[in-house]
Structure 1
């Protein structure tokens, strides 16, 4: 009997793969690597460009319930925060306290539905001030996930130090990389992703 493993990817443009000439983003690359490793799955990319965590909070559960039926092994991967921390008229689109509250509410509902969550940190861009705000949010998300027992992959700092990612982002719109950058993002996540697929309750090594 083939296991009915289903994964919903939730988040913003990086989840959707904006800028990727291959049309996969890091989410599609993770799914491809899982299948190549002998782990068949059904994956759904539910990323929306420019969406904040507040907007995600209002729509995610109804969309996931259509795709994650009872009896399946249901997983939810979440990555948000970049749009929250964009400044408009001198203020972030979403206050950091609200961003954390949104993530908390989403994760509690994921767990309440008996689905397995995994959170990926928001990636960096070419704006140092924005990256500083993202680093603060990254730390807050990490603390929240630790308290809830949810695996959290701290990809922000490794990508900030990754020359290929940063060069690819700079060559684009300053936020989104091309295929080479998404390759780097996915490669960073793959070992942890495969462990989590094999056993979501085993606990993951911290990615810093």
Structure 2
């Protein structure tokens, strides 16, 4: 990641003939409190469940959770390289899964915390700072506030479009959460943002197939 010559290089993936189980896959999951799994009484969140699904599917996976409560896309971009680099330099196949956006869409003092264009700029910055490590983006899920959900939907569509332009795989979380009582009810009775273990399990069931499929395919560098 990044151009610093003093840092050890990220090892490239072996050939596909070696098989997915023989690759030492290291993955950083970076983002906000929903990445950290806040509110999950089992302390697994969707990240822990997706990592478990990858391991159960035969991947030799080490997962690092870099979720920070309250973090916006801009804040994630600022810390991404320095936090991810030491965790990814030793493996055969390094990856980064990003997820952010809910905190960007909070309104403070009459203004959205991060305008959509700033969020898209942060994504571009993360892509550049992560290179040559491949990244995958998980979109923001729904919250309890319908007005904020309208803003999240706008951001979700903008992120999907920008990710396609950057050739970054995108997995939407909003459609599977906005109308799901398994997600919305615990968010409503909780703090308005975070579900319980069942809610995270619901989201993980949606995210695991595309994320694990992405991890299973060695990426040419």
Instruction: Report the TM-score, using the length of structure 1 for normalisation.
Output: 0.92
Determine which of 121, 145, 149 is the counterpart of 2:139.
Answer: 121
Aligned partners of 1:52 and 1:80 also within 8 Å:
yes
Corresponding residue for 2:43? Answer: 23
Corresponding residue for 2:71? Answer: 51
Corresponding residue for 2:25? Answer: 5
The Cα offsets for residues 146-182 of structure 1, whole Å up to 9 and x where unpaired, read as 0111110011122112121111211211110000000
Rounded Cα–Cα distance in structure 2 between residues aligned with 1:200 and 1:20: 32
Tell whether 2:117 aligns with 1:97.
yes
Instruction: Report the TM-score, using the length of structure 2 for normalisation.
Output: 0.87
Rounded Cα–Cα distance in structure 2 between residues aligned with 1:6 and 1:71: 6
How far off its partner does 1:133 sit? 0.5
How far off its partner does 1:70 sit? 5.7
Rounded Cα–Cα distance in structure 2 between residues aligned with 1:107 and 1:168: 33
RCO higher in structure (CA 8 A, sep ≥6): 2
Runs of 4+ in 1 over 6 A off after TM superposition: none
How far off its partner does 1:200 sit? 5.8
Structure 2 stretches lacking a partner, 5+ long: 1-17
In our comparison, the structure showing a higher alpha carbon Rg is 2
Instruction: Return closer, same or farther for 1:20/1:124 CA change in 2, 3 Å cut-off.
Output: same
Instruction: Return closer, same or farther for 1:200/1:130 CA change in 2, 3 Å cut-off.
Output: farther
Corresponding residue for 1:107? Answer: 127
1:46-195 alignment to 2 at 5 Å? 46-69=66-89, 72-110=92-130, 112=131, 114-195=132-213
Q: CA RMSD in A?
A: 1.5
Rounded Cα–Cα distance in structure 2 between residues aligned with 1:142 and 1:201: 21
Rounded Cα–Cα distance in structure 2 between residues aligned with 1:56 and 1:38: 30
Instruction: Return closer, same or farther for 1:50/1:200 CA change in 2, 3 Å cut-off.
Output: farther
